[in-house]
Amino acid sequence: AVVSTQSGHYGRGNHIFHAKCFKPSAAQVIDDQIYCSNCKHLVPKKYNPFKHMIDCEIENNDPCIQKISDVLEQCNDYPHKDLNTLITPHMQNNFSTIFQNIDGNKTNFDAFSLELDRVAKKFQIIGLAETNICTEEGNVYQ
């Protein structure tokens, strides 16, 4: 799905072409790779702000940063059915927690609550972080 980095003169100026279908494309760089507009949706979206702190050519990277980056790179999205299949056995006899930076309690709490209802087993502790509050709302979230 990666486009060729070969640029060709097409009409006015240089364009990047998708290697598979050889069509001009609105290319986008994702994780240091170039993807055409037809393929960029196929790239899994991962949040890893530590990835660019790791230098692959240096062996002495900070081991904590390396571990965090590795964990985030291995994260996967799961449909609810698969997630329930994966976590239910672990939640049977273990303490279960979930933490979410809800980023807007007023607008996102209902969606978060619905997502929790889709999980087969209930979490024993639910932690929420809310940073988008006004001074007058401060007492609500204590």
- Over residues 101-136, the pLDDT tens digits come to 888 887 888 999 999 999 888 999 999 888 777 777
pLDDT at 4 over 60: no
Q: What is the rounded CA–CA span in Å between residue 30 and residue 42?
A: 11
Q: What is the rounded CA–CA span in Å between residue 90 and residue 123?
A: 11
Q: How many CB atoms lie within 10 A of CB 3?
A: 24
Greater confidence (115 vs 1) lies with 115
Q: What is the rounded CA–CA span in Å between residue 27 and residue 17?
A: 8
Q: What is the rounded CA–CA span in Å between residue 108 and residue 135?
A: 19
Q: What is the rounded CA–CA span in Å between residue 92 and residue 99?
A: 19
Taking the whole predicted model, whether its pTM rises above 0.85 is answered as no
Antiparallel, parallel or unpaired: β 14-17 and 24-25: antiparallel
Q: What does the pLDDT read at residue 136?
A: 75
